[in-house]
Amino acid sequence: MRDRHAPALIRRRIASRGRSLVEIMIALVLSLLLLGSITAFYLTTQRSTRTQEGLRSADDGARWALSVLGDQLRLAGLGRVDLSLLSARPVTFDGAPVLGCEGGLADVGTGACVAPANANADAITVRYQRIDGSLASVTDCNGRAVPVARGVVENAFYVTGNTLMCRGSDGATMAASRAEPILDNVQDLQLSYGVAQDADSANVTQYQPASALAAPDWSRVVSVRVCLLVADPSPVNADVATTYRDCADNVQNIADGRLRRRFTSSFALRNRVG
């Protein structure tokens, strides 16, 4: 005799299995959502960590580069002190303490500027007298000894191949001296010059680019403003646009995923301002 309750039992078993399958599917979906959230959080944290590391690396490198350049600018115009002079500035130094170029150096061996100026990174040559016995002036920007026979130190800072370089004064001439890298991943170097009213004044009347200065004006320069634009060597998120302000204070967007940051500083020419 057939069990009349069998169809109901089968239906209950089928319904139970259906509910179990639904529960399994729900559990799988929840697991996938949880896994997706964990993955997204991990990737976000990883990008944030890379961003902070990139900014820290750029900050450390830029600070070092600015310290090297700043140390040299503070020596610009250094000369022997002649106490017999009655003027307010008894320091004797022949020529301009700094010479600048817009668009880099056409010849880093001679310090000649590009003509006409272009939109590339600027360059500057820092000049001061080599004084025997002065620890501040017997080594160049690369830490090399300046030959005794060389009366004037001329250290040229310029950018080539996204690297900030300094050609020092370890040779008899600038052309004979060696260049060393100061900082990699430099996108731009822009310089402006604080010009005093005359050669005896220490008060800046205006800041001007190198192209606005004639030969006699360089002896009136009493300070230099420096802007370095530095990029992170590795993309934080490839093909994603990054926004930054360049040295001209213009907002830029470049879709290569690399972070860029500008660093600015002003340096007084101590031997010029007295």
> pLDDT tens digit string along 37-89?
776 655 555 555 555 555 566 788 899 999 999 999 998 988 765 555 555 54
Structure confidence at residue 135 (pLDDT): 47
- Per the structure block, which two tokens stand in for 124? 């500057």
CA 248, CA 160: separation in Å to the nearest integer? 20
**Average of per-residue pLDDT values in the chain:** 79
HSE-CB for 156 with a 13 A CA cutoff: 26
* CA angle (184, 190, 261) in 5-degree steps: 55
- Compute CA 269 distance to the chain's CA centroid, rounded to the nearest angstrom: 21
Give me the mean pLDDT over the 264-270 stretch.
Answer: 92
The tokens of 114 are what?
Answer: 């590009």
- In this model, does residue 169 exceed pLDDT 70? yes
- Residues 6+ positions from 20 with CB-CB distance below 8 Å: none
- Cα(113)–Cα(52) distance, rounded to whole angstroms? 38
The confidence band for 119, taking pLDDT boundaries of 50, 70 and 90, is low
Residue 194: its pLDDT value, please? 94
Contact 143, 163 (CB under 8 A): no
Instruction: Report phi then psi at 124, rounded to 5.
Output: -150, 140
Q: Encode pLDDT of 202-239 as tens digits.
A: 788 899 999 999 988 998 999 999 999 998 877 766 65
Output phi, psi for 209, to 5 deg.
-75, 170
Q: Which structure tokens are listed for 222?
A: 């009493």
Buried b (16+ CB within 10 A) or exposed e, 58-74: beebbeebbebbbebbb
Residue-by-residue DSSP string for 131-151:
-TT-TTSSB-TTSPBPPTT--
What are the tokens at 182?
């100061």
> Which has the closest alpha carbon to 166: 156, 174, 176, 152?
156
Q: For the chain, which residues make up each domain, given as ranges?
A: 56-273
- Name which residue leads in pLDDT, 207 or 133: 207
Q: Cis link prior to 90 (omega < 30° from 0)? A: no
d(CA 63, CA 205): 28
